[in-house]
Amino acid sequence: MFSSKSKNTEAAAPAASAAAGTPASPTKRGARTSSAPSLISADLVVNGTLTSGGDIQIDGRVEGDVHSAGLVIGDKAFINGEVMADDVTVRGRVQGSIRARKVLLASTSHVEGNILHEAFAVEAGAFFEGNCRHSDNPLAEEHRRNGDIERKPVAATPPKPSEAPAPRPVVAAPAATVAPLKTGG
């Protein structure tokens, strides 16, 4: 029942199938890890890039790019940056580009930016301002190099006081004179 013989035959079966060139379990394109999704709660603000091989649910605020296998952007969430994932569901707000195989804009979503997708669905009531384009492989690096997705320019730093132009003097304009209209009488 608990002999070492059964352990050896179980361990040998996956090794034999791997040696034969057949995977032990079927895999899909962009297979996800089997771990629980990562959560960004509503009271959390993240400054920087988020990268995960699994799923992420964002209910807070992200100032930066998000790269994951699956992404759910909650009703109160806000992302200011590029989103890249196999599967994206937007219920909150995104300012920036989205590159994904499957994109769903829920009725509560507000997206300002370009979308590059393989499959795209929009519920009634969703807000979308930007361009959307179909691509057979939206996650390919070539799209970024070709300029298919525009990145937001980095905000310019304000000039130093020594570099700021001198203020112009304020000159008051002469007051206008108003004369009553004479009506025929």
Domain count of the fold of the chain: 1
pLDDT digits (tens, 9 = 90+) for 42-99: 999 999 999 999 999 999 999 999 999 999 999 999 999 999 999 999 999 999 999 9
How far is the C-alpha of 65 from the C-alpha of 108, rounded, in Å?
Answer: 21
pLDDT of residue 140: 86
- Kindly state whether residue 155 falls inside one of the protein's structural domains: no
Within a domain: 68: yes
Q: Which domain holds residue 131?
A: 36-145
Q: Specify if 110 maps to a domain.
A: yes
Using one digit for the tens of pLDDT, what is the confidence trace for 132-183? 999 999 988 765 555 554 444 444 444 454 555 555 555 554 555 555 566 6
In a domain, 125, yes or no: yes
pLDDT tens track for 2-48: 545 544 444 444 444 444 444 443 344 445 556 788 999 999 999 99
Q: Is the dihedral angle over the CA atoms 139, 141, 146, 152 positive or is it negative? A: positive
**Residue 61 included in any domain:** yes
Is residue 131 in a domain? Answer: yes
Predicted local confidence at residue 134, as pLDDT: 95
Full-model pTM? 0.62
What is the DSSP code string of the chain?
Answer: ---HHHHHHHHHHHHHHHHTT--SS---TTPPPSSPPEEE-TT-EEES-EE-SSEEEE-SEEES-EEEEEEEE-TT-EEES-EEEEEEEESSEEES-EEEEEEEE-TT-EEES-EEEEEEEE-TT-EEES-EEE-S-TT-THHHHTTSSPPPPPPPPPPPTTTSPPPPPP-PPPPPP--PPPP--
126 located within any domain: yes
* pLDDT score at 6: 47
In a domain, 67, yes or no: yes
